[in-house]
Structure 1
Amino acid sequence: MTQIIGHEPALQVLNIVDGQDLSHVFEVIGEPLPVGTMASMEISDREHDRTYAVWPITDAPAGWTLNVAAADHADIPHGARFRLYVMYPSAGRYCWIAGPVNRSRR
């Protein structure tokens, strides 16, 4: 019998379009997150040696919201990597979603 220890983030692609603001609402399904929970998205190079950006994700009535102006993501290259972290007040920091950045120059 194989037992999995640890947490594996969901793999997704972050699409960024030149000149277009990035806005997304993450819907929390099931139990609400504990009061004091925080979240952020970190963008880095493929090896995670260089951090391009760290953006806060705010708790709003519609869900956890990410808003990034086009100028604030202009220097992030295609192929960079992102990680969405959730920090629980008493349980630590977990990577919920991770994956590559797809930059469109449209």
Structure 2
Amino acid sequence: MDKKEELLKQQLQELKASYQQELPERLSEIRDLWQKITMNWSRQSLTALCTCLHRISGSAASFGYPELSVSAAKAEQLLKSYDNTDNIPDSNQLQTLTSALQQVFQYPG
């Protein structure tokens, strides 16, 4: 392996380590937003939550968390059906959303 390849490999390892270190905080932010939404449903919080889930779904697989990526994408998709509407999920729908988000929360980072 030449020096450029070695340097690239080292940089990728550093990026992965940084992602792993930041992941618990990102998941905590998602958990906090979900808790806030369940207490007081708001479009602003929902949009913020969808954005966080979108970022996780787009990046997690690249850093070794393919299942997290799939779980975040699923939760985001479920939540998107409430974005840009005034509809609030009923108790059954809320349970479905909570279950989807719990799949995201299970990752320790």
**Same fold (TM > 0.5):** no
Q: Which has the higher contact order (CA 8 A, sep 6+)?
A: 1
TM-score by length of 2: 0.28
TM-score by length of 1: 0.28
